[in-house]
Structure 1
Amino acid sequence: MRKKSWTLLLVAMIALSAVLAACGGGGDSKDGKKEITVWAMGEEGKKLKEIASKFEEENKDITVKVQAIPWGNAHDKLLTAVASGNGPDVLQLGTTWVPEFADAGALLDLEPYLEDYPEFKPENFFEGSVTSMKYDDKIVGVPWYIDTRVLYYRTDLLKEAGYDKAPATWDELKDAAEKLNARGDDMYGLDIDRNDQITPFIFAWQNGYEFEGKDKMNFDSPEFKGAIEYYASYFKEGLSPTAEGIDIVQAFKSGSKPMFFSGPWMINIINDQAPDLKDKWAVAEMPKKETNTSSMGGSNLSIFHNSENVDESLKFISYMNEVDTQMEWLEMSNTLPSRTEAWEEPKLKEDPLLSVFGKQLENTKASPQIKEFEKIAQEFLSSIERITVGGADIDKELEQFNKKANDIVE
């Protein structure tokens, strides 16, 4: 029994030593340099290593260890890091994850460092991004790259339907969709991805909806309800398909889905997979109801709360935040720069497609900044399924959803 007790104690001591040794994610490397660990997600993690090596060239005393984490594993890995205190120095966070991990105390408050790093100040970013930088009056992250949704449309098919330019209002969007839908069987007007949790919120913002805060869920407000009625009407009237069907790029190419909403990543995908569409498509800002608001997405860079390499981590984030670095990252990853200053660069300002994104970014909102948003959004997708496919009553469904949202928060 005594031998077993000593064995358990030894195992516990080794485990504790490992945690303490790894605490903060970095430290001194063998050659005397400071080493920082960076966790980055998905493809970004794979490509970030190249940028990190250039940072090392300019900062000879710092080594950057980039760990690429698949998006599917990222959330659980971050939760484990919070529980153990064994996290990286710098971590990438999707904007909808910021409230959850900030609430858990996992993110360092950057406010005390703004004097030395004025480029981190909110005025350097689009208003929609600023929301995701803050939590409880603390600045917990710096926007790295951003995205928003715009309208992709076939210019040739819209012209045949009587539109020389993209629909600019809700009424015009519905009218254009009806005319495109009338072309025949299996022809639709507007493709809406029912699995995209942010699209209904985009419609709601355009209809004047404002999230009141976690103390009172208001997903049953007239503005929210009116937006969902408009959203659902596309499915009810057969203007949007309820089944996924063929790949959106192929459907866009064939003309069966001549309009859809998406982000900047779709530009290269269409150019690569549907080169025959050259000069037959374009993008436009979102159609307007009360406003033409779209979503603000992307990723922030934060510092883990117990990093022992704060100065080095700040230098790295500052480097990633430079306009030249952001423009290089645009070339590598086709993701949009977060700094408003970058949008004065000719590559963005003069490009007929990217410049539209720049205009749309001036009118965006981030998802509600509450830690429970992901759970609420998943619950909402179930409601959307029952409304658009099952024909559920919108009033009753939103009433039930609002109650569930309150229960989740409570």
Structure 2
Amino acid sequence: MRKKAFLLMLVLFLGIFLVACNSDGEGDSEDQDDTNSEDQEQDDEEASNDEESSLSGEITVWAHPFTGEGDAEQEMWDEITTSYEEEYGVTVNFEQIPWSNRDQKILTALAANNGPDVFYAIPDQMPQYADEGMLLELDPYLEDHDMDDFVESSLVSVQWQDKTYGLPILQEAYTLFYNLDVVRDIGEDPDNLPETWEEFEEWAVKAKENDYYATAFSFGGSMNGTLYPYIWQAGGEILTQDDEVKINDEKSVEAFEYVNKLYEDGHVPEDSITAQEHNEMWDSGQIMASMGSGINLQILQEKDEIDFGIAPPMKNEQQQTYGTTGMFVVPSNTENPDAAAEFVKHMTNSENQRKFNSVTKYIPTRESAKDIFDDQPYLSQLASYTQYALPGVIHPAGRSIMPFIQAELQAMLEGEKSPQEAADAAAERIANEIN
């Protein structure tokens, strides 16, 4: 059993949950169970020819607040749920739940068999739930569904062990935002921002010569936006879905070496080892480039104090970056799996992605819905980068291994370990966690 807080909660809840689970787990509705009944044979045949007509009853949908605009969000949800009800004849009970303690709330509700039929999940939740049999596999519902329109990278976060457990509704793409006044001051061209590690390091040297930090590192925070993108850009991995620990492979160690050199050469602030953010230094013009996404863009545009430019995600062997993916999933113990699965498909179709992401300002996961940003150059630019965005480590232990990696990375930056030693120590701790 993996040693993580999630499974401590399952000790309390899983027994009840398994009793409550749908016994076949295939998403068949109750009126299709008795296929041997002569009286219902004709009705079942008609239902198979017209799947929508078999949907009935009601479903409960849980989601979180995505903006501070409550009225606009509610109007958006009303439009989406009403269009579903009108098309399928199923009543939708929509409930907005807070982000805080969401894992506990969801697990408790599912274990008591009074949870939602559809709920919003993020990449580090999905594999935990799926690995314990708590999510409905959606592949049987997607055979005739247009999946090619989804950005390929957005599907990474909804799949565990080659099965699909959700459909994505939003993405982000983190990349470097440059202070163009600093770029000009170091004698570089704002229209040709660095695209490779080598180019960035050349600019970093010039930035230091002119008393600027090249970039902000916040290694006191999540590895998703700090170390992981460098590992992916080097062609490395952290942990695979087959439990292969790869963080200390040759390519992954290149990332440790690169960030260590940036720190040792003074290209990042001295407190980067434990810092959570460097917003004040960025705002005051001390930093040339800072990692950001849509929320950072919104802040920069509202303040209108920094002349900025957005660079493509960097590459070494590969061009990659981090970007979370939000999805809707269906618990395996739902009493109305067909209707729930159809809602997930309905919620993530192109039309409703336009509605949802126009309000929330996230990036649609369907290419056809990205036209909502056609008149917004910066958001359109970020939307074009989601093809490079990975959602983190898709593994039940993805969340719990991060502190181990962080600790070893910090030890390296403090000079206590070499990059290889730090990566090896992180690999050993990961292996102990998953075994």
* TM-score of the alignment, normalized to the shorter chain, above 0.5: yes
**8 Å contact kept, 2:401–2:430:** yes
- SS of residue matched to 1:43: coil
Residues 56-95 of structure 1: matches in 2 within 5 Å?
A: 56-58=81-83, 59-60=85-86, 61-95=89-123
Residue aligning to 1:23:
none
Q: 2:329 aligns with which of 302, 318, 321?
A: 302
- SS of residue matched to 2:66: helix
Q: 2:159 aligns with which of 125, 134, 138?
A: 134
Cα distance change on mapping 1:51 and 1:72 into 2, 3 Å: same
Say yes or no: does 1:324 pair with 2:357: no
- SS of residue matched to 1:375: coil
- SS of residue matched to 2:218: coil
Residues 3-402 of structure 1: matches in 2 within 5 Å?
A: 34-43=57-66, 48-58=73-83, 59-60=85-86, 61-115=89-143, 118-119=145-146, 121=147, 123-164=148-189, 165-184=192-211, 187-194=212-219, 195-198=221-224, 199-210=226-237, 211-243=239-271, 248-272=278-302, 274-277=303-306, 280-343=307-370, 345=371, 347-349=372-374, 351-389=376-414, 391-402=416-427
- Segment of structure 1 superposing worse, 315-324 or 128-137: 315-324
Please list the CA deviations of residues 119-170 of structure 1 after superposition, one character each: whole Å capped at 9, or x if unmatched.
Answer: 3x3x222222222222233211000101121111112211221221211111
**8 Å contact kept, 1:127–1:364:** no
Letter in 1 for 2:304: P
Shift, 1:100, TM fit: 0.6
**8 Å contact kept, 2:236–2:247:** no
Please list the CA deviations of residues 294-346 of structure 1 after superposition, one character each: whole Å capped at 9, or x if unmatched.
Answer: 12422110111121233432343233213232222223111110112223x1x
Partners of 2:361 and 2:376 in 1: how far apart? 13
Aligned pair count? 371
- Segment of structure 1 superposing worse, 398-407 or 364-373: 364-373
Letter in 1 for 2:64: M
- Report % sequence identity: 24
**8 Å contact kept, 1:133–1:139:** yes
Partners of 2:73 and 2:335 in 1: how far apart? 22
Partners of 2:57 and 2:281 in 1: how far apart? 51
Shift, 1:204, TM fit: 1.0
Shift, 1:233, TM fit: 2.0
Q: TM-score, normalised by structure 2?
A: 0.78
Q: Which segments of 5 or more consecutive residues in structure 1 lack a partner in the other structure? A: 1-15, 21-32
- SS of residue matched to 1:370: coil
- SS of residue matched to 2:177: strand
Partners of 2:377 and 2:348 in 1: how far apart? 25
**8 Å contact kept, 2:61–2:117:** yes
Letter in 2 for 1:364: A
Shift, 1:249, TM fit: 4.5
- SS of residue matched to 2:156: helix
Partners of 1:333 and 1:77 in 2: how far apart? 23
Shift, 1:227, TM fit: 0.6
Partners of 1:56 and 1:373 in 2: how far apart? 33
**8 Å contact kept, 1:37–1:90:** yes
Shift, 1:406, TM fit: 0.6
- SS of residue matched to 1:387: helix
**8 Å contact kept, 2:186–2:210:** no
- Segment of structure 1 superposing worse, 375-384 or 347-356: 347-356
Partners of 1:238 and 1:341 in 2: how far apart? 44
Cα distance change on mapping 1:213 and 1:268 into 2, 3 Å: same
Cα distance change on mapping 1:110 and 1:247 into 2, 3 Å: closer
**8 Å contact kept, 1:53–1:64:** no
Shift, 1:391, TM fit: 4.2
- SS of residue matched to 2:210: coil
Shift, 1:247, TM fit: 6.3
- SS of residue matched to 2:358: helix
Say yes or no: does 1:404 pair with 2:429: yes
**8 Å contact kept, 2:73–2:359:** no
- SS of residue matched to 1:189: strand
- SS of residue matched to 1:276: coil
- Segment of structure 1 superposing worse, 162-171 or 60-69: 60-69
- SS of residue matched to 2:137: coil
**8 Å contact kept, 2:236–2:246:** no
Partners of 2:112 and 2:409 in 1: how far apart? 37
Cα distance change on mapping 1:250 and 1:400 into 2, 3 Å: closer
Partners of 1:314 and 1:192 in 2: how far apart? 41
